[in-house]
Structure 1
C-alpha cells in the first residue's frame, strides 16, 4: 500500500476515533441544544455503505473506463440550526476499465476525504462536498502492466433523507480528478478523470 493510502487511512481512523469519543461524552440524544425539539438531528458520527457507477476518460489515451463502484464511508456532522457541517472519508472498489486496440486502463480502487456543508429542511439535507481524492490507475499492453497511485481532488453535490432516528439514505454525484503519472509502457502522462453517481445508507450513532 502506498504512503498516500497509509496517511489517508490514518487520518480517517483518527477522525473516527475522535467522533466515537465525542459520542461517548454526550451524544446519543435525538436532538442537539441548538435545534427546536421537533427537528431531526444530523449531528454526530455515522457509518455506512454505498453503490454506484462511474465513467470517465484517461488523459492521452482513447480509453474510456467505466464500471460498478461499491464501498464504505464514515463521517461526523456538526449542526447549528438548519446548517450542517461535517467531514467524511470513503474507500471504494471499482470495476471501471476499458480496452482500445492494445491498450487497457482500469481503476481498481479509489478513496476520498472531503468536507461537507449543507442546509437541512428537518429530515432532508442538501449539501455540497469537496476535498482530497486518491486512487490507482493501472495500464496494460502486449503482456506488460504498470500501475500508479495518485492523489487529486473531488467536488460534488448530494441529498440525504433521514427515514428513521438512526438511519438515512443518500444520493450523491462526485467529479474526481486523479493526477497524471508518467507511464513507461505508454510513453505518456496518463491520469483518470471521472464522474460518479451513487446511492448509500448511513447509520447514525
Structure 2
C-alpha cells in the first residue's frame, strides 16, 4: 500500500513539474515574443530640405542653392507595397545669373511609390511656381512663373517617426514678360533641382 502511494506521488510530480515550469517561464517573460508589426508609410509628415538648382533662362544660365519646408500625406494600400501621396513644398532660392534671378520656388505634386520595408522609392508629378526678378541699371521688376515639374526620389525610415530622403526634380516654369529700362524681356526658367531632406511622420 505504501509502495503504491509513493509511486502515485512520483507520477503526479512528473506531470506537474513541467507544467509549473512553463507557467513560471510565461510569468517572467521567457515565452515567445509577439511578432513585430510591419512597416507602414501611411500618415501625415512635415519636414525640411536643402539643395542646388541649375538651368537656363533665355541667354542666362542661373544656378544656386535653395532650401525650405515640405508637408504631405502618404497612403500605403493594405497588404501592398504601393504607396500613393500628395506633397506641397516651398523653398527660398538664390538661383541667379546676370540680370535674372529666381528668388523662391514651390510645388504641389502627386507621388506614387513602391516600399521595400524601410525604403520608399517614388516618382512625382505636379504643378510648380516661382518668383523671378530681372534687374537692369539698379532697377528691378518681379514676376511670378507657373509651370510643371516631374521627378523621382527615395526615402529611408530612420525609425518610426523620422526619415531621410534624396530627390531630383526637372522644372519648367514657363515664361513671363519683365519690364526694364532697356525694354521688355520675356524670360522663363527650366532646369534641374537636386535636394536632400528629413521628414517627421505622425
Q: Deviations over 1:86-118 (max 9, x none)?
A: 00000000111111xxxx111110100000000
In structure 2, how many angstroms separate the alpha carbons of the residues matched to 1:129 and 1:110? 16
In 1, the alpha carbon distance for the partners of 2:96 and 2:178 equals 17
Aligned residues: 164
- 1:37 shift after superposition: 5.7
The answer to whether the aligner puts 1:46 opposite 2:45 as a matched pair is: yes
Matches within 5 A, 1:90-101: 90-99=89-98
Q: Which residue of 2 aligns with 1:106?
A: 101
Equivalent in the alignment of 1:68: 65
Moved over 3 A (4+): none
Query: Which runs of 5 or more residues in structure 1 are unaligned?
Result: 1-35
Structure 2 length-normalised TM: 0.78
Deviation at 1:182, TM superposition (A): 1.6
**How far off its partner does 1:193 sit?**
1.0
SS at match of 1:191: strand
1:66-92: per-residue Cα shift (whole Å, max 9, x none)? Answer: 111100000000001100000000000
Structure 2 residue runs of 5 or longer lacking an equivalent are: 1-34
Max radius of gyration: which structure? 2
Per-residue Cα deviation, 1:97-155 (whole angstroms, up to 9, x for no partner): 111xxxx1111101000000000011101100010001111001122211101211000
Structure 1 residue 183 displacement after superposition: 1.9
TM-score, normalised with respect to structure 1: 0.77
The separation in 2 between residues aligned to 1:188 and 1:106, in whole angstroms, is 13
In the alignment, which residue of structure 1 is the partner of 2:4? Answer: none
SS in 2 for 1:165: coil
1:79 aligns with 2:76: yes
Superposed displacement of residue 38, structure 1: 4.3
Aligned residue number for residue 129 of structure 1:
124
State the superposition RMSD in angstroms.
1.3
CA gap 1:174/1:91 in 2 versus in 1, 3 angstroms: same
- Structure 2 matches for 1:55-204, cutoff 5 A? 55-59=54-58, 62-80=59-77, 81-99=80-98, 104-185=99-180, 186-204=183-201
Spell out the pairing of 1:6-25 with structure 2 (5 A cutoff). Answer: none
